[in-house]
């Protein structure tokens, strides 16, 4: 039976003259998983919200939406609220109450369930999903991943038949998103919940999805099974970008696989296993340190534990350095210390050969260091982007050059909150570059960006480094770090372990490494990114 | 402490309401002494060494109020000495002390209240009767830490883009406004998430962890009875006390004072009981 189907769906926002969605048809049957891909602004979120009547956007809707065999408008309010659940991207803005326990019972309280029943339902679910450890915690104390898990459970407590998720893992590190997806997998396979999920980076969800819908500019450019998607992607560079690393690698051998395991076996069978170790680059000792931290310790107050402990780090001019590590490990704190925003209680940070403490007033931030916060919107406190940039504008030439390089023209008159993730990232970078900094510190710059925006950002960072600036990023996005960083280091337990050139870093890491490296390890030990792996496969000698 | 937590939160809330309602309104020194003594005893039991600062503060309040009241109020017939041309009277001194004692015991009782009753207890008590109010309180409790964190993040972002670290009203206002507008941006998401989970469909219920049991009813009956007895005595005028022009000779009603004293030290009974329970508890080893 079809759980949800849409026919010739078109939608236009009241404020827009053009249609946001054009003639989209698709269906999800039984306990199917539908993956929706498309770049930012392609209409994914609009489509997903239309499926959930309570939050569907206001505008003109054509075509039909059928849920559980009835037209969407014929469902009773209670049916509609219970049958379809919705989880969005940002875990911070979805939680309503102050504790996990009250968040979980929120939906049941809304539909007037008896208190005794609420407790048994919530308890049963918390046990099933294994979240008892966070059950009585305040939401404020949870990590991003735990918050998102809490939101998912809070939505699933009404035992919905269809679960809609709008980029649920966009803000999470790989480990937390893995946990989230394993819960989704259980919801789907053990309870038969149909899932409709939009993701920028579908590699995690790819092997569990049944069908894929690709949107471009409001039109459905593809709808069909996963296998036919792979076939279609061979000739379509845009669709190709959404394939996970194992599938891309296997495509070079004209095979279709979806998991690391299968791709690894395929490669080993085709090329044979090698004992070769990844090559070590002969690292030249460098002297042009732009930023140096020596045995730095930081804690919030005297009686708490060290968040940064014995951190030693050097970032050189002209390189992109990436500190990788999970969310909440203290990377943000480290960047704030390196950028002189907070002071360590012990240790020394040197910027361009001078102790950070010796910079008086804001001397550090004019032409020396610039820090991009995790949420780039934080840099904007004026009403328009133009106003904000004017504040830091001291050199009109530079301003004009940046505007044309980053094509900021059309964005200047907008309110910062009207910009998309990629756009605000660009504007924030422009604001920082107006001070012409020698050292740029960026906190999770690739978070929440679609693959295209990530590539633009990555190229921008490479260009900044080639201009002789030192760029230091903290990120949980391993693939991004492997692609664009010169050196990487693992941030763990309060300090950076094993900083090494990225190729070497990822090819020697066994667990915390890119999917391509995990696939290629035994065959092409030096391949770290998917494109490197593809090159190796094309040029490799078959057995 | 953990024994007190085994009651329905209505019990301790009702208890504190009983104690404080009398302690706020009475100017009878005997009742005030009872509430102060009971409060101090409980505070020490509940907070241990951390209560020292508050106790010193309360002693200071009483001393200052006692000493300064006669400087401004010259009523009373027992003149101790003269300050300038005005008399410094015993009655005014004692009245000041009594006022100070009221304030000190209120502070102490509130401190005990805070230590015993958590946010969730308050929510549970309101939630059963006023589910919507409880939701609003819970939302506010969730919102405040978000707001604080956002403020710090915005401030750090401003530091990082070269804004002066000197605190100024202008900067605070700018950051705070930005903070509010960032939060109001999120409100749209929150309201979506609420609607998606069926908010507004039916009248809300409230999931509370605990039923009201016989044990709770018994524990609530005792303080309520004592409190009513005290109010009856107060109403009968037997506890009236005045300071001016001379200290009133009466105002001491042994039964009433006993009742209030018992009310004030009632939790000590549970604290002692808890000690015994643990002493004989096999879990200890």
Positive or negative, the Cα torsion across A179, A182, A187, A190?
negative
Residues B28 and B169 in one domain: no
Which residues, at least 6 apart from A449, have a Cβ–Cβ distance to it below 8 Å? A40, A200, A421, A422, A425, A457
Q: Compute the distance between CA of residue A134 and CA of residue A103 in angstroms, rounded to an integer.
A: 12
Burial (CB < 10 A; 0-12, 13-18, 19+), residue A135, is middle
Cα–Cα nearest to A104, from A131, A79, A140, A144:
A131
Confidence of residue B277 (pLDDT cuts 50, 70, 90): confident
Does A367 contact chain B (CB < 8 Å)?
A: no
Q: What are phi and psi of A448, to 5 degrees?
A: 75, 10
Residues B113 and B171 in one domain: no
Q: How far is B216 from chain A (nearest CA, A)?
A: 19
Bin A434: left if φ > 0, else alpha if -120 < ψ < 50, else beta: alpha
Q: Would you say domain A289-514 falls under CATH 3.40.50.300?
A: yes
Dihedral (Cα; B75, B79, B83, B85), 10-degree rounding: 70
Instruction: Identify from B183, B198, B199 which residue to disrupt to test chain A contact, counting A C-beta atoms within 10 A and taking the largest count.
Output: B198
pLDDT of the residue at A288:
84
Distances (CA, A) of B24 to A287, A312, A372, A390, B221: 73, 60, 54, 58, 22
Residues B262 and B162 in one domain: no
pLDDT of the residue at A282:
64
Contacts with B190 from chain A: Cβ below 8 Å? 93-94, 96
Compute CA A149 distance to the chain's CA centroid, rounded to the nearest angstrom. Answer: 16
Does B152 contact chain A (CB < 8 Å)?
A: no
Buried b (16+ CB within 10 A) or exposed e, A23-42: ebebebeebbbbbbbbbbbb
Residues B64 and B24 in one domain: yes
Q: What is the mean pLDDT of each run of 10 residues along chain A (543 residues)?
A: 90 89 92 90 90 91 92 92 91 88 91 89 90 90 89 92 92 86 92 92 87 92 93 88 90 90 92 82 75 92 89 92 87 91 91 87 84 89 86 79 82 84 86 89 88 88 92 92 93 88 88 90 89 88 73
Q: How far is A424 from chain B (nearest CA, A)?
A: 14
Instruction: Identify from A115, A333, A425, A443 which residue to disrupt to test chain B contact, counting B C-beta atoms within 10 A and taking the largest count.
Output: A115
Compute CA B222 distance to the chain's CA centroid, rounded to the nearest angstrom. Answer: 21
Residues B190 and B259 in one domain: no
Residues B37 and B114 in one domain: yes
Q: Please state whether the peptide bond connecting residue A212 to the residue before it is cis, i.e. omega within 30 degrees of 0.
A: no
Q: Is residue B173 part of a domain?
A: yes
Q: Indicate the DSSP class of residue B27.
A: -
DSSP-assigned states of every residue in A412-457: TTS-GGGS-HHHHHHHHHHHHHTT--SEEEEESTTTT--HHHHHHH
pLDDT of the residue at B1:
63
Confidence of residue B247 (pLDDT cuts 50, 70, 90): confident
pLDDT of the residue at B226:
94
Average pLDDT of B137-142?
A: 87
Cα–Cα nearest to B55, from B41, B69, B35, B66:
B41
Residues B113 and B9 in one domain: yes
Distances (CA, A) of A403 to A371, A400, A411, A436, B172: 20, 5, 10, 14, 30
Instruction: Identify from A155, A342, A381, A431 which residue to disrupt to test chain B contact, counting B C-beta atoms within 10 A and taking the largest count.
Output: A381
In which element (H, E) is residue B110 found? helix B90-116
CB A356 within 8 A of CB A349: yes
Residues B192 and B89 in one domain: no
Task: Decide if the complex's ipTM is over 0.85.
Answer: no
Distances (CA, A) of A313 to A11, A306, A442, A490: 52, 17, 16, 11
Interface of A with B in 407-436 (CB under 8 A): 417, 431-432, 435
Whether the per-residue pLDDT at B283 is higher than 80: the answer is no
From the candidate CATH numbers 3.30.70.920, 3.40.50.300, 3.40.50.720, 3.30.230.70, the one assigned to the domain spanning A2-239: 3.40.50.300
Bin B15: left if φ > 0, else alpha if -120 < ψ < 50, else beta: alpha
- Count the residues in chain A: 543
- Count the residues in chain B: 285
Q: Using CA coordinates, name the residue in chain A closest to B154.
A: A378
Are A366 and B162 an interchain contact pair (Cβ–Cβ within 8 Å)? yes
Compute CA A202 distance to the chain's CA centroid, rounded to the nearest angstrom. Answer: 11
CB A169 within 8 A of CB A8: no
Residues B65 and B167 in one domain: no
Q: How far is B182 from chain A (nearest CA, A)?
A: 8
3-state secondary structure of A168: coil
Tokens of A23: 């003639």
Helices B254-264 and B266-279: crossing angle, nearest 10°? 50
Interface of B with A in 181-220 (CB under 8 A): 181-182, 185-186, 189-190, 192-209
Per-residue model confidence as pLDDT tens digits over B154-181: 999 888 877 777 888 888 888 898 888 8
Residues B71 and B104 in one domain: yes
Q: Is residue B136 part of a domain?
A: no
Q: How far is A358 from chain B (nearest CA, A)?
A: 15
pLDDT of the residue at B284:
59
Residues forming CATH 3.40.50.300 domain(s) in chain A: 2-239, 289-514
Residues B88 and B52 in one domain: yes
Q: Compute the distance between CA of residue A192 and CA of residue B172 in angstroms, rounded to an integer.
A: 52
Are B164 and A362 an interchain contact pair (Cβ–Cβ within 8 Å)? yes
3-state secondary structure of A496: strand
Confidence of residue B285 (pLDDT cuts 50, 70, 90): low
Q: Is residue B261 part of a domain?
A: yes
In which element (H, E) is residue B152 found? helix B131-160
Distances (CA, A) of B5 to A436, B16, B69, B271: 59, 14, 41, 11
- In this prediction the pTM is 0.84
Q: Compute the distance between CA of residue A85 and CA of residue A486 in angstroms, rounded to an integer.
A: 43
Per-residue model confidence as pLDDT tens digits over B199-213: 988 888 888 777 788
Residues B237 and B168 in one domain: no
Q: Compute the distance between CA of residue B280 and CA of residue B285 in angstroms, rounded to an integer.
A: 10
Whether the per-residue pLDDT at B279 is higher than 90: the answer is no
Q: Compute the distance between CA of residue A211 and CA of residue A206 in angstroms, rounded to an integer.
A: 9
Q: Compute the distance between CA of residue A425 and CA of residue A443 in angstroms, rounded to an integer.
A: 11
Q: In angstroms, how far is the first alpha carbon of chain A from the final one?
A: 47
Which residues, at least 6 apart from B163, have a Cβ–Cβ distance to it below 8 Å? A362, B171
Q: Compute the distance between CA of residue B87 and CA of residue B281 in angstroms, rounded to an integer.
A: 62
Domain, as residue range, for B152 = 141-196
Count the domains in chain B. Answer: 2
């Amino acid at each position: 039976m079809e759980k949800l189907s849409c026919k010739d769906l078109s939608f236009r926002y009241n404020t827009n003259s053009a249609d946001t969605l054009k003639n989209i048809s698709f269906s999800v049957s039984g306990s199917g998983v539908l993956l929706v891909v498309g770049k930012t602004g392609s209409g994914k979120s609009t489509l997903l919200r239309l499926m959930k009547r309570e939050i569907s956007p206001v505008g003109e809707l054509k075509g039909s939406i059928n849920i559980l065999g009835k037209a969407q408008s014929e469902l009773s309010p209670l049916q509609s609220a219970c049958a379809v659940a919705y989880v969005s991207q940002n875990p911070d803005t979805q939680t309503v109450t102050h504790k996990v326990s009250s968040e979980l019972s929120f939906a049941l309280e809304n539909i007037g369930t008896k208190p005794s029943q609420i407790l048994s339902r919530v308890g049963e679910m918390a046990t099933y999903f294994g979240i008892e450890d966070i059950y009585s915690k305040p939401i404020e104390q949870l990590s991003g991943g735990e918050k998102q898990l809490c939101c998912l459970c809070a939505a699933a407590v009404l035992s919905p038949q269809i679960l809609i998720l709008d980029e649920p893992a966009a803000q999470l590190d790989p480990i937390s998103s893995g946990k989230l997806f394993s819960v989704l997998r259980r919801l789907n396979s053990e309870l038969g919940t149909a899932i409709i999920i939009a993701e920028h980076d579908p590699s995690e969800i790819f092997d569990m999805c049944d069908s894929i819908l690709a949107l471009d500019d409001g039109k459905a450019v593809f709808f069909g099974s996963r296998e036919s998607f792979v076939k279609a992607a061979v000739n379509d560079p845009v669709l190709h970008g959404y394939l996970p690393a194992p599938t891309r690698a296997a495509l070079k051998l004209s095979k279709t696989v979806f998991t690391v395991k299968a791709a690894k076996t395929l490669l080993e069978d085709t090329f044979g296993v090698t004992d070769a170790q990844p090559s070590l680059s002969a690292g030249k000792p460098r002297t042009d340190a732009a930023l140096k931290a020596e045995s730095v310790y930081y804690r919030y107050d005297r009686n708490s534990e060290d968040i940064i402990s014995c951190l030693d780090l050097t970032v050189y001019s002209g390189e992109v350095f990436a500190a990788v590590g999970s969310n909440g490990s203290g990377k943000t704190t480290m960047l704030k210390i390196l950028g002189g925003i907070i002071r360590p209680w012990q240790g020394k940070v040197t910027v361009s050969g001078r102790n950070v403490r010796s910079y008086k007033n804001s001397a550090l931030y004019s032409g020396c260091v610039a820090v991009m916060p995790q949420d780039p919107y934080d840099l904007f406190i004026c009403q328009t982007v133009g106003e904000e940039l004017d504040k830091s504008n001291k050199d009109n030439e530079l301003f004009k050059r940046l505007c044309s390089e980053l094509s900021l023209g059309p964005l200047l008159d907008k309110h910062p909150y009207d910009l998309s993730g990629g756009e605000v990232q660009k504007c924030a970078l422009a604001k920082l570059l107006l001070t012409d900094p020698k050292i740029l510190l960026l906190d999770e710059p690739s978070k929440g960006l679609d693959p295209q925006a990530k590539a633009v950002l990555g190229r921008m960072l490479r260009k900044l480094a080639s201009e002789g600036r030192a760029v230091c990023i903290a990120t949980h996005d391993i693939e991004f770090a492997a692609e664009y960083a010169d050196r990487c280091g693992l941030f763990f337990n309060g300090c950076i372990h094993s900083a090494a050139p990225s190729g070497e870093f990822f090819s020697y890491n066994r667990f915390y490494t890119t999917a391509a490296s995990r696939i290629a390890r035994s065959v092409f030990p030096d391949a770290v990114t998917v494109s490197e792996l593809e090159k190796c496969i094309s040029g490799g000698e078959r057995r | 402490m953990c024994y007190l937590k085994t009651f329905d939160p209505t019990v301790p809330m009702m208890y504190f309401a009983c104690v404080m309602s009398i302690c706020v309104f009475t100017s009878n020194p005997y009742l005030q002494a009872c509430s102060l003594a009971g409060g101090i005893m409980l505070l020490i039991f509940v907070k241990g060494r951390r209560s020292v600062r508050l106790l010193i503060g309360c002693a200071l309040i009483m001393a200052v109020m006692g000493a300064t009241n006669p400087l401004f109020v010259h009523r009373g017939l027992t003149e101790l000495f003269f300050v300038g041309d005005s008399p410094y009277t015993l009655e005014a001194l004692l009245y000041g002390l009594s006022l100070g004692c009221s304030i000190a015991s209120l502070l102490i009782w509130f401190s005990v209240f805070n230590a015993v009753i958590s946010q969730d207890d308050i929510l549970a008590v309101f939630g059963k009767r006023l589910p919507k109010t409880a939701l609003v309180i819970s939302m506010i409790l969730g919102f405040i830490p978000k707001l604080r964190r956002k403020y710090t993040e915005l401030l750090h972002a401003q530091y990082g883009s070269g804004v002066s670290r000197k605190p100024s009203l202008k900067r605070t206002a700018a950051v705070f406004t930005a903070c509010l507008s960032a939060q109001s941006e999120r409100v749209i998401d929150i309201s979506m998430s609420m609607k998606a989970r069926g908010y507004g469909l039916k009248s809300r219920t409230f999931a509370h962890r605990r039923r009201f049991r016989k044990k709770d009813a018994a524990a609530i009956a005792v303080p309520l009875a004592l409190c009513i007895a005290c109010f009856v005595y107060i109403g009968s005028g037997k506890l009236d006390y005045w300071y001016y022009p001379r200290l009133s000779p009466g105002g001491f009603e042994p039964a009433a004072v006993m009742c209030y004293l018992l009310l004030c030290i009632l939790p000590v009974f549970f604290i002692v009981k808890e000690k015994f329970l643990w002493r004989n508890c096999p879990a200890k080893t």
